[in-house]
């Protein structure tokens, strides 16, 4: 049977390793951390995943936490009235919630990756705890039929060249600050169902609030995305988790008081329940060439890393793993040469390009027709629902989001219906 090495035990690496394993491949998984280190370590993401990505996990029977994880049935958008927070607390200009056709879920990656890693080992997979360096890959590319690099944003990605034509931003576009909390109240507008709440504060940034399943059960995540250099870009260097939470809440009180109102009793889930950082969204060339002449294929964030403003990275990692798995299985016993690697990535890019285009658009200042669309969703429920379901299938935004004429035609058709 063919021997495949997967470097990196995140969403894509584990999903693909477990998928290959279930088809009888001889898989080695290399991780720079043990399952216990992941489980007891720092939170890594907010990892909200929508229907299609969750279905890929179900197809492999890896949806172990589906019964316990909160079902996210809606996606809501609130927009602060520009300048209303200066001075005083902000007010809402827009507030709506769209219903998702299939529910979304967030399972703390500490829970999921640790559990999946243990499953991989229990099923006879070879797990190597080692942070792979380029020199290791050089050696392994000669001993394995295929080496997949699924190392996320780890240093080893520097061996994959940046694709400037697909990477419009050279610098981070948001400063990220995450806090996992217990004790958040429901959104009073829809206490009967859970939703991801996207709160846009024009010129300042965004606050995302979403339920999750973490190491201590159900929790909620408060996630600020701040425009660099602006009033939300204050988390760098904050080491004390309580200070991080206090800052999060202070900013909520000023910029999103409607969310703060349900957060007055929150406390951190654990001392590792906060995260701060930033990175430049980057598309890379899919093939990494090694000093010894071998080639390796990049997976998920290694090749397409978008800003989390649209909550797509784990979704894309799941879709990439499913697409690569299909390409590997279809290839049978033929050699995994560079032509196959490029073709495998190109097949994934058919989906990924829509995520990158939409995410990069959301990072910029919204044009008037997009503001009209978001505003109209407050009056027209089908528009809110379609926007919400775009998070599951971003290719649909081609039909009504980017071009003013298409947006106008769509809004007119809904208004007439
Ligand atoms: C703040 C924040 C919020 C987010 N929110 C969402 C969201 O709501 N929805 C969503 O879909 N996505 C979200 N994302 C993005 C999502 O978490 C990532 O895109 C996704 O985890 C990428 O999966 P991956 O498999 O490519 O890499 P990762 O999940 O990053 O996994 C890579 C793994 O490789 C390991 N590794 C690195 N280097 C090496 C090495 N040399 N050797 C061995 N192992 C190595 C790492 O430790 C890690 O375990 C968010 C990201 C951030 C930062």
For 340-363, the pLDDT digits (tens) are 999 999 999 999 999 999 999 999
By most ligand atoms within 8 Å of CB, the mutation choice from 5, 36, 38, 47 for ligand 1 is 47
Q: Report the mean per-residue pLDDT for the chain.
A: 97
Q: pLDDT exceeding 70 applies to what percent of the chain?
A: 100
> Whole-model pTM?
0.98
Tell me: the pLDDT tens digits for 15-68?
999 999 999 999 999 999 999 999 999 999 999 999 999 999 999 999 999 999
Asked if 192 and 314 count as a contact pair (C-beta separation under 8 A), the reply is no
Structural element, H or E, at residue 4 = strand 3-7
Of 102-106, 154-158, 166-170, minimum mean pLDDT range: 154-158
By most ligand atoms within 8 Å of CB, the mutation choice from 120, 208, 313 for ligand 1 is 313
Query: Crossing angle of helices 313-331/338-363, nearest 10°?
Result: 160
Is 84 a residue whose pLDDT tops 90?
no
Nearest CA to ligand 1 atom 2: 45
Nearest CA to ligand 1 atom 15: 313
Sheet holding 146-149, edge to edge: 126-129, 26-31, 3-7, 146-149, 295-298, 287-289
CA distance 216 to 37: 16
Q: How far apart are the first and last CA of the chain?
A: 57
By most ligand atoms within 8 Å of CB, the mutation choice from 9, 19, 35, 45 for ligand 1 is 45
Measured in angstroms, how far is the CA atom of residue 32 from the centroid of ligand 1? 13
Q: How confident is the model at residue 86 (pLDDT cuts 50, 70, 90)?
A: confident
CA distance 68 to 7: 29
Q: How confident is the model at residue 87 (pLDDT cuts 50, 70, 90)?
A: confident
By most ligand atoms within 8 Å of CB, the mutation choice from 54, 70, 136, 151 for ligand 1 is 151
CA distance 306 to 359: 7
CB atoms within 10 A of CB 409: 13
Considering only CA atoms, give the Rg of the chain: 21
Counting atoms of ligand 1 from 1, which one is nearest the CA of 8?
A: 34
Counting atoms of ligand 1 from 1, which one is nearest the CA of 131?
A: 42
Q: How confident is the model at residue 399 (pLDDT cuts 50, 70, 90)?
A: very high
Q: What is the mean pLDDT of residues 361-383?
A: 97
Counting atoms of ligand 1 from 1, which one is nearest the CA of 321?
A: 25
Quickly list DSSP for 194-224.
Answer: EEEEEEEETTTEEEEEEEEEETTEEEEEEEE
Counting atoms of ligand 1 from 1, which one is nearest the CA of 208?
A: 8
Query: CA 363 → CA 227, 370, 413, distances in Å?
Result: 9, 13, 28
Q: What is the mean pLDDT of residues 174-178?
A: 98
Is 90 a residue whose pLDDT tops 90?
no
Counting atoms of ligand 1 from 1, which one is nearest the CA of 12?
A: 25
Q: Which two tokens stand for residue 310?
A: 């649209």
Counting atoms of ligand 1 from 1, which one is nearest the CA of 302?
A: 26
Measured in angstroms, how far is the CA atom of residue 228 from the centroid of ligand 1? 22
Measured in angstroms, how far is the CA atom of residue 73 from the centroid of ligand 1? 24
Measured in angstroms, how far is the CA atom of residue 133 from the centroid of ligand 1? 18
Counting atoms of ligand 1 from 1, which one is nearest the CA of 106?
A: 8
Quickly list DSSP for 301-359.
Answer: GGTEE--GGG--HHHHHHHHHHHHHHHHHHHTTS---HHHHHHHHHHHHHHHHHHHHHH
Query: CA 280 → CA 198, 297, 400, distances in Å?
Result: 21, 21, 27
Q: Give the pLDDT confidence score for residue 162 in this predicted structure.
A: 97
Is 1 a residue whose pLDDT tops 80?
no
Q: Is 99 exposed, middle or buried (0-12, 13-18, 19+ CB in 10 A)?
A: middle
Q: Give the pLDDT confidence score for residue 85 in this predicted structure.
A: 81
Nearest CA to ligand 1 atom 21: 314
CA distance 395 to 109: 26
List, in order of start, the domains of the chain with CATH numbers: 3-63+109-169+281-362 (3.50.50.60), 72-106+173-277 (3.30.9.40), 366-416 (no CATH)
Number of H helices, E strands in the chain: 12, 17
DSSP symbol at 403: S
Is 291 a residue whose pLDDT tops 80?
yes
Q: Give the pLDDT confidence score for residue 297 in this predicted structure.
A: 98
By most ligand atoms within 8 Å of CB, the mutation choice from 120, 152, 276 for ligand 1 is 152
Query: Taking the alpha carbons of 274, 352, 69, 33 in that order, is the dihedral positive or negative?
Result: negative
Measured in angstroms, how far is the CA atom of residue 10 from the centroid of ligand 1? 6
Is 12 a residue whose pLDDT tops 80?
yes
CB atoms within 10 A of CB 82: 13
Query: Crossing angle of helices 381-390/404-416, nearest 10°?
Result: 130
Tell me: the pLDDT tens digits for 108-130?
999 999 999 999 999 999 999 99
Asked if 315 and 261 count as a contact pair (C-beta separation under 8 A), the reply is no
Q: What is the mean pLDDT of residues 352-377?
A: 97
Tell me: the pLDDT tens digits for 215-265?
999 999 999 999 999 999 999 999 999 999 999 999 999 999 999 999 999
Residue whose pair of structure tokens reads 């477990």 in the numeric block? 18
Q: Give the pLDDT confidence score for residue 83 in this predicted structure.
A: 78
Quickly list DSSP for 129-190.
Answer: E----HHHHHHHHHHSSEEEE--TTSGGGGGS-B-GGG---SS-S-EEEEEEEE-PPPPTT-
Residues touching ligand 1 (Cβ under 6 Å) are 7-13, 30-33, 45-49, 131-132, 150-152, 154, 156, 176, 178, 275, 300-301, 308, 311-315, 317
Query: Could you tell me which residues are beta bridge partners of residue 182?
Result: 267
């Amino acid at each position: 049977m063919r021997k495949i090495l997967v470097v990196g035990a995140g969403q894509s690496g584990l999903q693909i390793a477990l998928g290959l394993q279930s088809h009888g491949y001889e898989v080695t998984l290399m991780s720079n951390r043990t399952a216990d280190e992941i489980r007891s370590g720092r939170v890594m993401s907010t990892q909200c995943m929508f229907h299609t990505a969750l279905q890929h996990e179900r197809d492999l029977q890896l949806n172990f936490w589906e019964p316990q994880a909160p079902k996210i049935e809606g996606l809501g958008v609130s927009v602060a009235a520009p300048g209303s927070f200066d001075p005083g607390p902000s007010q809402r200009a827009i507030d709506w919630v769209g219903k998702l056709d299939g529910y979304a879920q967030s399972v703390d990656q500490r829970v999921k990756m640790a559990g999946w890693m243990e499953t991989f080992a229990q099923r006879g997979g070879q797990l190597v705890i080692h942070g792979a360096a380029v020199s290791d890959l050089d050696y392994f590319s000669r001993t394995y039929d295929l080496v997949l690099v699924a190392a996320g944003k780890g240093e080893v990605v520097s061996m994959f060249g940046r694709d400037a034509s697909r990477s419009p931003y050279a610098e981070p576009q948001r400063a990220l600050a995450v806090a996992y909390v217990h004790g958040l109240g429901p959104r009073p507008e829809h206490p009967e169902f859970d939703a991801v709440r996207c709160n846009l504060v024009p010129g300042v940034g965004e606050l995302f609030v979403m339920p999750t399943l973490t190491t201590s059960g159900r929790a909620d995540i408060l996630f600020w995305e701040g425009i660099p250099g602006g009033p939300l870009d204050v988390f760098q260097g904050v080491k004390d988790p309580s200070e991080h939470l206090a800052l999060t809440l202070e900013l909520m009180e000023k910029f999103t008081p409607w969310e703060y109102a349900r957060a007055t009793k929150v406390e951190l889930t654990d001392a590792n329940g906060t995260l701060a950082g930033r990175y430049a969204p980057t598309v890379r060339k899919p093939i990494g060439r090694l000093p010894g002449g071998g080639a390796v294929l990049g997976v998920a964030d290694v090749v397409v890393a978008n800003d989390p403003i649209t909550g797509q990275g784990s979704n894309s990692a799941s879709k990439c793993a499913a697409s690569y798995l299909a390409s590997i299985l279809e290839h049978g016993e033929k050699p995994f040469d560079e032509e196959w690697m490029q073709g495998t990535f190109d097949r994934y890019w058919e989906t990924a390009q829509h995520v990158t285009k939409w995410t990069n658009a959301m990072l910029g200042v919204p044009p008037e027709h997009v503001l009209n669309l978001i505003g109209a969703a407050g009056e027209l429920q089908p528009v809110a629902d379609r926007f919400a379901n775009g998070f599951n299938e971003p290719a649909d935004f081609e039909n009504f989001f980017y071009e003013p004429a298409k947006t106008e035609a769509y809004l007119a058709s809904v208004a007439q219906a």
